[in-house]
Amino acid sequence: MTKPFTILAGAAGGVIAAGPAMAASGPFFSLHNTDFIVLLAFLLFVGILVYFKVPAVIGNLLDKRSEGIRADLDEARRLREEAQEIYANYERRQREVKVQADEIVANAKREAELQAAKAKDDLAASIDRRLKAAQDQIASAEADAVRAVRDRAVAAAVAATGELLGQQVASGSRSAGIDDAIADVARKLN
pLDDT digits (tens, 9 = 90+) for 9-43: 444 444 444 455 455 566 887 888 899 999 999 99
Tell me if 74 is assigned to some domain: yes
Residue 52 DSSP class:
T
Domain-embedded: residue 92: yes
pLDDT in tens, 84-132: 999 999 999 999 999 999 999 999 999 999 999 999 999 999 999 999 9
Largest CA distance in the chain: 194
pLDDT, position 13: 45
Residue 4 lies in a domain: no
Task: Tell me the whole-structure pTM to 2 decimals.
Answer: 0.38
Q: What is the pLDDT of residue 30?
A: 80
Q: Which residues are CB-neighbours of 190 under 8 A, at least 6 positions away?
A: 151, 154
Write out the residue range of the structural domain in which residue 106 sits: 53-189
The residue that leads in pLDDT, 185 or 94, is 94
Residue 39 lies in a domain: no
Structural domains counted in the chain: 1
Does some domain include residue 43?
no
Contact 136/127 with Cβ under 8 angstroms?
A: no
